[in-house]
């Protein structure tokens, strides 16, 4: 009986931990998809460009969520610094994937108006 309760407790902890991770991934995927919809409303992208855009934006949002979880409450200055670094990384990844003119066009189209 004791082993069964221990096993169930461990399984519950593992499932809760994995659900937290998948929740962040799902949020990142949702936000990246919404951002892609804003961009495609203004600019036409082929399938390959859409895949690249989604993967770059998803990585950006995942980094943002991890920085928020780690630094937002404990060290707000470090959080601001990390978010700025993440934005610079997003810009450089977009330039590397699409070239400077196309990356600038995509980033402008993705901004809220």
Q: Does residue 13 belong to any structural domain of this protein?
A: no
Max Cα–Cα distance, the chain, nearest Å: 65
Q: pTM of the prediction?
A: 0.76
Evaluate the CA torsion angle 88, 49, 44, 99 in order and state its sign: positive
Q: 87 lies in a domain?
A: yes
Q: Is residue 96 part of a domain?
A: yes
Band (110; pLDDT cuts 50, 70, 90): confident
Tell me how many domains the chain contains.
Answer: 1
For residue 3, name the pLDDT band (cuts at 50, 70, 90): low
> Residue 16 falls within a domain, yes or no?
no
Count other Cβ atoms within 10 Å, centred on residue 38. Answer: 14
Q: Is the pLDDT of residue 11 over 80?
A: no
| 15 domain residue, yes or no | no
Q: How far apart are CA 27 and CA 82, in angstroms?
A: 20
Domain annotation covers residue 70: yes
Contact predicate 96/59, CB 8 Å: no
29 occurs within a structural domain: yes
What are the pLDDT digits (tens) for 42-79? 999 999 999 999 999 999 999 999 999 888 889 889 99
Say which residues have a Cβ less than 8 Å from residue 40's Cβ, sequence separation at least 6.
50
Q: Which domain holds residue 30?
A: 24-110
pLDDT at 35: 93
């Amino acid at each position: 009986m004791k082993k069964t309760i221990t096993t169930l407790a461990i399984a519950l902890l593992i499932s809760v931990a994995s659900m937290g991770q998948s929740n962040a991934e799902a949020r990142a995927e949702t936000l990246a998809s919404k951002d892609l919809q804003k961009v495609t409303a203004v600019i036409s992208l082929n399938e390959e460009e859409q895949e690249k855009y989604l993967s770059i934006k998803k990585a950006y949002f995942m980094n943002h969520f991890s920085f928020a979880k780690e630094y937002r409450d404990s060290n707000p200055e470090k959080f601001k610094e990390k978010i700025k670094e993440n934005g610079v990384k997003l810009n450089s990844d977009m330039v590397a994937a699409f070239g400077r003119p196309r990356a600038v066009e995509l980033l402008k189209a993705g901004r809220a108006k």
